[in-house]
């Protein structure tokens, strides 16, 4: 195991066994401990009292953060030829019908998000094994199956994205970049927390949050007090 650098040791001292109840302090430490030589992504890891094997305890939803997450999505639209012009005008990067399905079936997936009109969904069914594991299969719940392409694409271009709990009940989600201002990160994280609260699965009857941690791509985990956002 490689030895820790002096800076890494100092960063651990700032976060080890400390639970931050003040969001401003937590974000300040988050930025101070981001020492990689690239612009790190900022992440929230929320451990929830849910068991996703039960339908009423599953969490999958979308959110638009006030300041985005610092990533411009490449969006593909699967629709009939009659809608090609609307999709392109609304900002789609890739637009296609049967030819796009063929490309996807060959593993040519050069997009971050796939939006489809309802009439194309039967044709997409056979690609579930390709798109599903990558989290790219369009679904009404995620807002990626739509007949209103202009409105849908406008929302996603503004930063709307999907997140969900994994099979262990943990949500891993980005909420910005380390070069965002402290205020921007605080506002994004607060909006994300509110989204989690508002989308509490109906099967959760008692406590909802087990733990909340934030970190950068290469930085140490910073634990937040569960009452931080109250």
DSSP state letters, 72-123 = ---EEEE--GGGHHHHHHTT-SEEESHHHHHHHHTT----SEEEE-GGGHHH
Whether 57 and 17 map to the same domain: the answer is: yes
Whether 166 and 142 map to the same domain: the answer is: no
Could you report the per-residue pLDDT of 60-115, keeping only the tens digit for each?
999 999 999 998 889 999 999 999 999 999 999 999 999 999 999 999 999 999 99
pLDDT given at position 10: 62
pLDDT given at position 12: 56
Whether 25 and 61 map to the same domain: the answer is: yes
Whether 101 and 173 map to the same domain: the answer is: no
Q: Last residue of a domain, which of 132, 158, 184? A: 158
Whether 38 and 89 map to the same domain: the answer is: no
Residue 54 lies in a domain: yes
Within 10 angstroms of residue 60's Cβ, the number of other Cβ atoms is: 16
Residue 2 lies in a domain: no
Q: Are the C-beta atoms of residues 216 and 34 closer than 8 Å to each other?
A: yes
Structure tokens at 155: 């929302």
Whether 169 and 106 map to the same domain: the answer is: no
Q: Last residue of a domain, which of 113, 143, 158? A: 158
Residue 1 lies in a domain: no
Whether the pLDDT of residue 8 is over 60: the answer is: no
Residue 229 lies in a domain: no
Identify the weakest region by mean pLDDT among 83-87, 140-144, 198-202: 140-144
Q: Using pLDDT thresholds of 50, 70 and 90, give the confidence band for residue 141.
A: confident
CA 217 to chain CA mean position, Å: 14
Q: What is the mean pLDDT of the chain?
A: 92
Q: In which domain, by residue range, is 100 found?
A: 75-158
Residue 101 lies in a domain: yes
Give the Cα separation of 22 and 26 in Å (integer). 6
**Phi and psi at residue 166, in whole multiples of 5°?**
-80, -175
Whether 83 and 144 map to the same domain: the answer is: yes
What CATH number did the domain enclosing 64 receive? Answer: 3.30.190.20
pLDDT given at position 4: 46
> What is the mean predicted confidence (pLDDT) over 8-32?
81
What CATH number did the domain enclosing 121 receive? Answer: 3.40.50.790
Q: Last residue of a domain, which of 158, 179, 211? A: 158
Measured between its terminal Cα atoms, the distance across the chain in Å is 41
Comparing CA positions, the residue from 50, 90, 64 lying closest to residue 200 is 50
Residue 230 lies in a domain: no
pLDDT given at position 9: 54
pLDDT given at position 16: 63
Residue 41 lies in a domain: yes
Whether 189 and 220 map to the same domain: the answer is: yes
Residue 46 lies in a domain: yes
Structure tokens at 163: 């997140």
Domains of the chain: total: 2
Within 10 angstroms of residue 30's Cβ, the number of other Cβ atoms is: 26
Whether 29 and 101 map to the same domain: the answer is: no
pLDDT given at position 183: 98
Whether 166 and 153 map to the same domain: the answer is: no
pLDDT given at position 135: 87
Whether 154 and 104 map to the same domain: the answer is: yes
Whether 146 and 114 map to the same domain: the answer is: yes
């Amino acid at each position: 195991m490689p030895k820790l650098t002096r800076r890494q040791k100092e960063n651990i001292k700032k976060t080890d066994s400390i639970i931050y109840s003040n969001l401003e302090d937590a974000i300040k430490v988050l930025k101070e401990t981001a020492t990689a030589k690239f612009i790190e992504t900022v992440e929230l890891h929320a451990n929830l009292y849910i068991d996703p094997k039960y339908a009423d305890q599953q969490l999958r939803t979308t959110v638009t953060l006030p300041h985005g997450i610092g990533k411009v999505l490449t969006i593909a639209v699967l629709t009939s030829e009659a809608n090609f012009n609307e999709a392109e005008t609304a900002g789609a990067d890739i637009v296609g019908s049967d030819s796009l399905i063929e490309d996807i079936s060959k593993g040519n997936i050069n997009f971050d998000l796939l939006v489809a009109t309802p009439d194309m969904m039967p044709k997409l069914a056979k690609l579930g094994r390709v798109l599903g594991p990558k989290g790219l299969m369009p679904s009404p719940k995620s807002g990626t199956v739509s007949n209103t392409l202009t409105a849908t694409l406008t929302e996603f271009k503004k930063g709307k994205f999907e997140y969900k709990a994994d099979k262990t009940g943990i949500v891993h989600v980005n909420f910005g970049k380390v070069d965002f201002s402290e205020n921007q990160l605080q506002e994004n994280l607060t909006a994300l927390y509110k989204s989690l609260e508002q989308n509490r699965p109906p099967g959760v009857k008692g406590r909802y949050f087990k733990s909340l941690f934030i970190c950068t791509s290469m930085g140490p985990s910073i634990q937040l007090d569960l009452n931080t956002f109250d």
